Amino acid sequence: MGTWFKGVVLGIAALLGLSKAGEPPAMSLRAYRDATTIYASFELDDLPDADLARLVDASFVVRIRATVWAGTERTEAFRDIRHDSLGYEVRVSETGGVHRTRDGKAAWTIASRFNKIALGPVAAQRFPMALGCKVFLSLPSDPDYDPMVVWAYKPAAAYRELDSVGLVPYY
């Protein structure tokens, strides 16, 4: 679908009030570790809302981009979700893998879960430590349009404090 047509669809939806800014979804955030590394896992609850699903079903590629931090260590991960006549495709940044399915619910489940995001060596962390995550939406193929309007321009976010390495369970 042409970029100009996508812009018209988004503009008409906003003008007619069909697309209203909602709240970002709730998130669950967990920390894990192995012998050397701290990891974060998180999930966006109740994804997608109706407007976000409409964007993907209208052939937009929606990127769900997460910035995660533990102490001073930061990392980013993303999921790209798209829909075409063959079904849904979800690209996972950590592995470079692509998951294909005809089931929209399965695609959104894959897109909403980020597992085992490496945050750095355990030995480099100081406790107590802040662990947090913010999630943003973007359209990588159409940077002129901002899908954050569906979340009222607020990122989904979660925050935790860890008092000691002993409170971080093994993965």
- pLDDT value for 72: 85
Tell me whether residue 28 is in a domain.
yes
Closest CA to 168 of 137, 135, 125: 125
* φ, ψ for residue 3, nearest 5 deg: -60, -40
Tell me whether residue 15 is in a domain.
no
Range of the domain at 79: 21-167
Give the count of domains, the chain.
Answer: 1
Give the number of residues written for the chain.
Answer: 171
State how far the Cα of 73 lies from the Cα of 51, in Å rounded to an integer: 33
- pLDDT value for 19: 54
String of DSSP letters for the chain: --HHHHHHHHHHHHHTTSS---PPPPEEEEEEE-SSEEEEEEEETTPPPHHHHHHHHTT--EEEEEEEEETTEEEEEEEEEEEETTEEEEEETTT--EEEES-HHHHHHHHHEEEEEEEEEGGG--SSEEEEEEEEEE-TT-TTS-GGGGGTT--EEEEEEE--GGGS-B-
At 5, which amino acid appears? F
- pLDDT value for 124: 87
Confidence of residue 22 (pLDDT cuts 50, 70, 90): confident
Tell me whether residue 12 is in a domain.
no
Asked if 27 contacts 42 with a C-beta cutoff of 8 angstroms, the reply is yes
Higher pLDDT, 80 or 149: 80
Tell me whether residue 14 is in a domain.
no
* Prediction pTM value: 0.84
Tell me whether residue 25 is in a domain.
yes
Tokens linked to 52: 């976000």
Higher pLDDT, 71 or 16: 71
Tell me whether residue 129 is in a domain.
yes
Tell me whether residue 8 is in a domain.
no
Tell me whether residue 70 is in a domain.
yes
Each residue's pLDDT tens digit, 74-129: 999 999 999 999 999 999 999 999 999 999 999 999 999 999 999 999 988 899 99
